[in-house]
Chain A
Amino acid sequence: MTVILDSNNLSKRFGSIQAVDNLSIKVEQGSIYGILGPNGSGKTTTLGMVLDVIRPTSGSFTWFGQAITRGTKQRVGALLETPNFYPYLTARKNMEIVATIKGVSNANINPVLQIVGLEERKHTTFKGFSLGMKQRLAIASALLNNPEVLVLDEPTNGLDPEGIAEIRELILSIASEGKTIILASHLLDEVEKVCTHVAVLQGGVLRAEGPVSTILSAKDQIIISAPDTARVLEVLRQLPFVEKFQPDRDLVHLSLQDNFSSADVNKAMFDAGIVLTQLTVRRKSLEAQFLEIIKKQS
């Protein structure tokens, strides 16, 4: 797999605050890489450093295996923190400036405005746009030179639910063309729905990194109850596939090893002559998993 972005012990200190602390991540080609973390966890600072606008205190990074240059920048489209445009210029004029900087033809402008649904409003000045429209214009501008990599910092910020859904679909459709996407977000379910890989940041420190399926899928919890709880506990103690269990008044919470399900528990109980009065599978919420990742290491 080709590595698109490789950061090596990247650190940034603002005065007494360590915004990013020895961050080493690798983004592979074709992945949708989520950088997940609460507000102030160093997501924007990290992206700012790899986008050449924030000077790292120490550490290094490469794009496509080389130091950042105009050439590498032209292969990356990015939206950092806020949509940045000239408020007194129309959407179209703003895009012409971006086109000149990126060295692409103005003919590219209308198609990208169409993709984000702003074609009709291209003669409106930027200051007349709603926050959602500004955000979409920024995405259009990132797409302008048809880059191989798209860096999006909180792309659904300020959008209404319909806009959020549209942007997520847009991201997925762009990714399906084989492009690499780096997405910073504080929204767990956004990362879970969109991303293939995730890095969890907290206080500038990398807490976990890997495919979304391994990082963000803790085991389901099963809750059972039976008339005779003591007997249930006795059986559970002998079942090899029960990882742990925890009685809670007349209920028992338990989690199982991989590849076993609630059906196995039910069967084992029945074989032992116990009839369960309740059997519930509770998916652990993403928030709970996230807090667990953060708590485990701090």
Chain B
Amino acid sequence: MNLLRIELHKILPYRTVWVILATFAILLTLFLYASSQVTVNGQQLGDTMYRLPAFWQRLTYIASYFNLLFSILIIVLITDEYSFRTLRQQVIDGLSRAELVMAKFYVILTLAAISTLFLLLLGLYFGLLYSTERSLSAIFGQIEALFYYFVQSVGYMTLAMLFAFLIKKSGLAIVGFIAYTIIVEPLIRFRLPEAIDKYMPMKVMGGLTPMPLQEVLDQITTPSEVLSPALATLLAVVYIALFWLFSYYVLRLRDL
């Protein structure tokens, strides 16, 4: 926990962190508010889409788009340490390379916890505003969506951490991360058979917050194979562990 304390010392006075957190909070709230007012076929979207418990899944699906923002934040925090040469100083002063990675991983867990908590509040606010049924089972019926979102968020940020430790320069690391997640992996997946494709990291992570109307889509097109949430969670945790280990080996094998 000392490691987290060290990280908080660095992060709390850092304006970039607050700007990114505020951007996430404001944009997500605005998006939810604005789309609740949209009228489709004479019905306000809020009335149909924001009903609990189904709203939890929709909410985490929307929030999953903001993972990129948190990933960029992680990249900035880590590449900063390269440019300030503070990774080097921390090792001189007593930390091990494993502790350097662990410290950043704690930051990732903290950020994921904060955003998940924020989703809980948003979900309760908008959900209760539009739900007609307010029993506990209705409200918390599909709350596990938040847990999947948490795992996904940790997964994205851990991959971002690996890119940051590997590339060292913030701009390049951000480009590399976006290129991999949005272009390279989908291209690879395109070439792979369904059976293997579903085990690729971004596909696994994405599967944790499935698109709300996927069932409808699947009736029109051939359904694409997806993993069960439990298996996807397990695989995501394996990937997180791998990204962690690769980050550690990058630091082990390099001069600081």
Residues of A with Cβ closer than 8 Å to B?
48, 51-55, 70, 73-74, 78, 80, 82, 84-89, 93, 96-98, 100-103, 141
Given contacts A53-B255, A100-B9, contact A86 B86 (CB under 8 A): yes
Q: Is the CB of A100 within 8 A of B84?
A: no
Q: Is the CB of A80 within 8 A of B92?
A: yes
Residues of B with Cβ closer than 8 Å to A?
2, 5-6, 9-10, 13-15, 84-86, 88-96, 253-256
A52 contact set on B, CB distance < 8 A: 91-92
State the CA gap A100–B221 with chains docked (Å).
Answer: 57
In the complex, residue of chain B having the shortest beta-carbon distance to the beta carbon of A101: B93
A87 contact from B5, B84, B256, Cβ within 8 A: B84
Q: Is the CB of A74 within 8 A of B94?
A: yes
State the CA gap A48–B91 with chains docked (Å).
Answer: 11
Given contacts A84-B84, A100-B5, contact A73 B93 (CB under 8 A): yes
Q: Is the CB of B93 within 8 A of A53?
A: no
What are 12 contact pairs spanning A and B, CB under 8 A? A52-B92, A55-B253, A70-B94, A78-B92, A85-B89, A88-B13, A88-B15, A93-B9, A93-B13, A98-B93, A100-B2, A102-B93
Q: Is the CB of B94 within 8 A of A101?
A: yes
Q: Is the CB of A96 within 8 A of B9?
A: yes
In the complex, residue of chain B having the shortest beta-carbon distance to the beta carbon of A54: B255
State the CA gap A86–B7 with chains docked (Å).
Answer: 12
A87 contact set on B, CB distance < 8 A: 84
In the complex, residue of chain A having the shortest beta-carbon distance to the beta carbon of B6: A100
- Closest Cβ–Cβ distance, residue B83 to chain A (whole Å): 9
Q: Is the CB of B92 within 8 A of A88?
A: no
Q: Is the CB of A97 within 8 A of B92?
A: no
State the CA gap A51–B253 with chains docked (Å).
Answer: 16
State the CA gap A217–B208 with chains docked (Å).
Answer: 74
- Closest Cβ–Cβ distance, residue B2 to chain A (whole Å): 6
In the complex, residue of chain A having the shortest beta-carbon distance to the beta carbon of B89: A84
B90 contact set on A, CB distance < 8 A: 101
- Closest Cβ–Cβ distance, residue B12 to chain A (whole Å): 10
**Chain B interface SS verdict (over half):** helix
Q: Is the CB of A97 within 8 A of B256?
A: no
In the complex, residue of chain B having the shortest beta-carbon distance to the beta carbon of A52: B91
State the CA gap A199–B90 with chains docked (Å).
Answer: 27
Supply 14 further A-B pairs (C-beta < 8 A) apart from A53-B91, A100-B2.
A48-B255, A53-B255, A78-B93, A80-B92, A84-B84, A84-B88, A85-B84, A85-B86, A86-B10, A86-B86, A89-B9, A93-B9, A101-B90, A103-B94
State the CA gap A23–B2 with chains docked (Å).
Answer: 37
State the CA gap A48–B85 with chains docked (Å).
Answer: 13
B5 contact set on A, CB distance < 8 A: 100
A100 contact set on B, CB distance < 8 A: 2, 5-6, 9
In the complex, residue of chain A having the shortest beta-carbon distance to the beta carbon of B93: A101
- Closest Cβ–Cβ distance, residue A51 to chain B (whole Å): 5
- Closest Cβ–Cβ distance, residue B143 to chain A (whole Å): 36
B86 contact set on A, CB distance < 8 A: 84-86
State the CA gap A102–B88 with chains docked (Å).
Answer: 14
A85 contact set on B, CB distance < 8 A: 84, 86, 89
Given contacts A96-B9, A97-B6, contact A102 B94 (CB under 8 A): yes
Q: Is the CB of A101 within 8 A of B95?
A: yes
State the CA gap A84–B93 with chains docked (Å).
Answer: 11
A86 contact set on B, CB distance < 8 A: 10, 84, 86
- Among B6, B9, B93, find the residue whose CB has the most chain A CB atoms closer than 10 A: B93
Q: Is the CB of B94 within 8 A of A73?
A: yes
State the CA gap A141–B198 with chains docked (Å).
Answer: 51
- Among A78, A93, A101, find the residue whose CB has the most chain B CB atoms closer than 10 A: A101
CB-CB nearest 3 A-B residue pairs: A84-B89, A84-B85, A53-B256
Given contacts A53-B255, A85-B86, contact A73 B14 (CB under 8 A): no
B255 contact set on A, CB distance < 8 A: 48, 53-55
Q: Is the CB of B88 within 8 A of A101?
A: no
State the CA gap A82–B2 with chains docked (Å).
Answer: 26
B10 contact set on A, CB distance < 8 A: 86, 89, 97
B9 contact set on A, CB distance < 8 A: 89, 93, 96-97, 100
Q: Is the CB of A89 within 8 A of B13?
A: yes
A55 contact set on B, CB distance < 8 A: 253-255
- Among B2, B84, B92, find the residue whose CB has the most chain A CB atoms closer than 10 A: B92
State the CA gap A70–B86 with chains docked (Å).
Answer: 17
State the CA gap A17–B150 with chains docked (Å).
Answer: 47
State the CA gap A48–B87 with chains docked (Å).
Answer: 13
- Closest Cβ–Cβ distance, residue A149 to chain B (whole Å): 12
Q: Is the CB of B84 within 8 A of A73?
A: no
- Closest Cβ–Cβ distance, residue A136 to chain B (whole Å): 16
